[in-house]
Structure 1
Amino acid sequence: MSPSEAPTTDLEVHPSKIKLYGTNGVQCRIHAISEHLMDALYSESVVAKVWNIASKAVSSSKPPILYPEYTDEDGIYVYRTLDFWTSGFFPGSMYLLLERFTRHPQITHRSGQTKDTLTPWPHRLQLEYLCRWWTTNLHANALKRDTHDLGFMIAPWATKSWELHRDPAAYNSLVMAAHSLASRFNTTTQCLRSWDVCITNRYSFTDPSQDFLVIIDNMLNLDLLFWAARETSNKGLFDVAMMHARTTQKHHIRDDHSTFHVVNFDSENGGVKAKFTNQGFSDSSCWARGQAWGILGFMQTFEWTKEISFLVTARDLADYFIAHLPEDGVPYWDFTAPITEVSPRDTSAAVVAACGMLLLYKALKGSPDGDVYLFKAMKLVDCTASKFLNSPTSRFEKVTSASKVPVYPSGCIDGHEGDGFSSMTVVDKSGSKIGESILGGATINNYEFAPRRWSNHGLVYADYYFLLFGNMLLELGLAKLDDAKPGKKVDSVR
């Protein structure tokens, strides 16, 4: 079924109720994930792409200090230094795969191959080692007090390291990062400062004493504060996160439920000096990824606080997002920008929003209200993968060392006597340009006055949230091996 043939839905929006209708006015429910979406989320190629980057550091004498951010015209990752705000996402992707290997090992062998023909994957302990290797130098970022992005820099990998291994260093870094982030809170503005400075070809904010800049993205960093507040029984951290969320709720959201990207507060009286964009089309437009940050951020806040107003806000933002999707289901970089043949999409906005919609389903589970968000979340990722999934032809291949080793007694290892040690490599069977990222079609910044504009590329956090979406489905019990056996009929969400 093509995206244009997908079941249409009409949403009757009310603060307390959403009704879902099928094409004939019949309510529909999602019972299984399409085979296409299962293949996209859990294929060997997805793991191989991450492993291909991660394994480059295996032979290094020192742990990495450079981390992939976006891909160039040839599909090759461009790297940034470890203190850049995106540094935590690639290790976070590695930890998401480690979580699958650890908690859902059956999902890694769903290709229908027999036991005898199944391609060997890297051992879980190899991946665990690389996870630790890639994060060794990132602990130092927890001390940074010049950025709001500590949630992005620390939480994607450190939270999983603590959950899976009870790693004390990860725990300490999470707590330290939370306190570093909280140091940016201002009691007058009732929120955390996002940027100290902001310079474009249109405006320049260089004096933090005059301007207090807050961006919608900052909602995603509250999760770190809530986590540390629970773990250390620190009510102060909880209160900071709550106050920031309420301030964002009050000032970043328009009456039509679209969002402003940046709000500049007066730090002396808490008043609003200006509302504008740094990455969208215009000050009055709706930047797609900013809208997505809002959906996921307010849902995370609701999960911690159970305050209904945050749930309602997230639903309002999600409904706007859904209503402004194009026919093929993949958002353009800005919902209200003029559309031309060269208008860029943003797959990162799609997968971030989809994760937020899954949390909406979780909160409203068992009701038609929840079903609509589950349907829309899976359709959103399915359409995104259909259009922008890079060639899923990367595979693991065993490479046996050329050196032989004597084995005693002879024949004790069937078929491997004297073969030495083997390693894993990643190969591509398509013969075409591989593309190191899982997804293409992302847009970092297409703002007219940005110092530099990026679009139509792979992006490390698009891949991270794509993988996170897959793990969330597993956690919710929505992605099961039995539902994905070849030949088994499932409901399509495309």
Structure 2
Amino acid sequence: MTRLSLLLLTIFLMVACASPKKQEPIFSPTKMLDLSVLKTKETLKGLSATDSFLRNIPQDKTHWEFVGVRDWCSGFWPGVLWYAYEYTKDESIKSKAEKFTLPIKTIAYSPARNHDIGFMVYCSYGNGYRLTGNEEYKKVLLAAADTLATLYNPNVGSILSWPIKREEYSHNTIIDNMMNLELLFWASKNGGDKRLYDIAVSHAELTMKNIVRPDNAVYHLGEFNEETGEFIKGHTHQGYADESMWARGQTWGIYGFAIAYRETGNQEFLETSIKLANHFLDRLPEDGIPYWDFDDPKIPNAPKDASAAAIAACGMLELAGLVKDEKLKEKYINAANNFVEKLSSKDYFSGDTNQALLLHSTGHYPKNSEIDVPIIYADYYYMEALTRLKKIEVLNNASLAQK
């Protein structure tokens, strides 16, 4: 090689190294909603019965496993369909959402088996009513709130979460139940008994005082004396240990207390949600998606929980709409966007792998149940988060257009 050729090669390499790298495509809620709706419509093609509901996809399988209407996850699939309809305004999706919603009506008019009535009815009928104004849906929602309220124990001040565990605990209240209070708050404003509001407030206050720990993590379950209301002990069922930080439980707390503040204006609820959110963000692993429990000693060889990231995104967006501090607002919107962007990557979005939207969720690790698999509530909260981010994007674009 001549001296000139060597010089030209050196200059070329220097320029090449100095040139800006090709940027990766920017995450787009619109793109991911389009892909998610497309996958949802493909899944619908293979469904004939509308009284069976998607729950999970086992390892090495491609199609959803089904559960009956009384499974606590029954409301999430119709909820996914309602979000798909909200985005597309596609009447064929609306028709399917209505058909999968209808069987859940029985939950509102049956004796309460657990606190999950909110998940089952509000995610299905609640979204349906929000988008259609169907008065029949309203009646079902009001009946469901009254049914949920039958589990309230005034001696304790909270809703009994798992009646089936009465032999194990005198009265149990789990952090998940914070999410079911939204049904009671809604009903109290829409023709239901005002007592429903008081029940929701009492439950949130009790949870805040006893289940939220001083380290800003939460117990999965609080055990109380059902006659005196005395707090006995904090436990876990789905986490690693009683005092560990179970990822999904932390996100139920973030989102649930944000909703409680939205409905009551109680500043303590807002402060609690902020503390839980900040603690969650502070402890995230480097890739930004939580392990199933932050304290599993097997980390980094422990399963992730995409569902916790999706719920966290929704909780952060709810919180962002409530805080007055602009820096905090930006912090939580950015955090939510980061969660959803990572979930939309090839590492977590299923693509052609199977019928689900998201991979790598963990249901009940201690019972070796639903570990590192798609689970329907992960898809539901992913769709909710995308829908929320899309609305923020539209508002931002409209604001820029006016300037």
Q: Verify the 8 A CA contact 2:33 2:386 in the aligned structure 1.
A: yes
Q: Verify the 8 A CA contact 1:474 1:480 in the aligned structure 2.
A: no
Deviations 1:171-218 (A, max 9, x none): 1110000000011000010000000124xxxxxx536xx611111000
Deviation at 1:242, TM superposition (A): 0.3
**Match of 1:258, as an amino acid?**
A
Residue 35 of structure 1: aligned partner: 26
CA distance in 2, matches of 1:354, 1:391: 19
Q: Verify the 8 A CA contact 1:99 1:160 in the aligned structure 2.
A: no
Per the alignment, in what secondary structure is the counterpart of residue 318 of structure 1? helix
**Match of 1:51, as an amino acid?**
K
Per the alignment, in what secondary structure is the counterpart of residue 190 of structure 2? helix
Residue 152 of structure 1: aligned partner: 119
Match of 1:462 among 378, 384, 402: 378
CA distance in 2, matches of 1:41, 1:365: 30
**Match of 1:46, as an amino acid?**
S
Q: Verify the 8 A CA contact 1:249 1:313 in the aligned structure 2.
A: yes
Deviation at 1:384, TM superposition (A): 2.8
Deviation at 1:283, TM superposition (A): 0.9
Deviation at 1:383, TM superposition (A): 2.0
Residue 91 of structure 1: aligned partner: 78
Deviations 1:210-268 (A, max 9, x none): 61111100000000000000001532000000000000001111111000001111101
Q: Verify the 8 A CA contact 1:40 1:385 in the aligned structure 2.
A: no
1:315 and 2:251 matched = no
Residue 286 of structure 1: aligned partner: 245
CA distance in 1, matches of 2:62, 2:46: 17
Residue 9 of structure 2: aligned partner: none
Match of 1:349 among 293, 308, 324: 308
Query: Paired residues, what number?
Result: 373
Match of 1:187 among 154, 162, 166: 154
Residue 96 of structure 2: aligned partner: 130
Residue 168 of structure 1: aligned partner: 135
CA distance in 1, matches of 2:309, 2:395: 19
The RMSD of aligned alpha carbons is 2.0
Higher relative contact order (CA 8 A, sep 6+): 1
Q: Verify the 8 A CA contact 1:46 1:392 in the aligned structure 2.
A: no
Residue 329 of structure 1: aligned partner: 288
Residue 426 of structure 1: aligned partner: none
Residue 78 of structure 1: aligned partner: 65
TM-score by length of structure 2 reads 0.88
Per the alignment, in what secondary structure is the counterpart of residue 126 of structure 2? helix
Higher helix residue share: 2
Deviation at 1:379, TM superposition (A): 1.1
**Match of 1:65, as an amino acid?**
D
Q: Verify the 8 A CA contact 1:151 1:221 in the aligned structure 2.
A: yes
Residue 197 of structure 1: aligned partner: 164
Structure 2 gaps of 5+ residues are 1-24
CA distance in 2, matches of 1:363, 1:478: 19
Structure 1 gaps of 5+ residues are 1-33, 103-123, 199-204, 394-433, 484-494
Q: Verify the 8 A CA contact 1:219 1:297 in the aligned structure 2.
A: yes
Residue 244 of structure 1: aligned partner: 203
1:441 and 2:357 matched = no
Match of 1:270 among 216, 229, 236: 229
Deviation at 1:391, TM superposition (A): 4.1
Residue 15 of structure 2: aligned partner: none
Residue 69 of structure 1: aligned partner: 55
Greater shift in the superposed pair: 186-195 or 471-480? 471-480
Identity within the alignment, %: 30
Q: Verify the 8 A CA contact 2:350 2:358 in the aligned structure 1.
A: no
CA distance in 1, matches of 2:296, 2:219: 14
Match of 1:141 among 92, 95, 107: 107
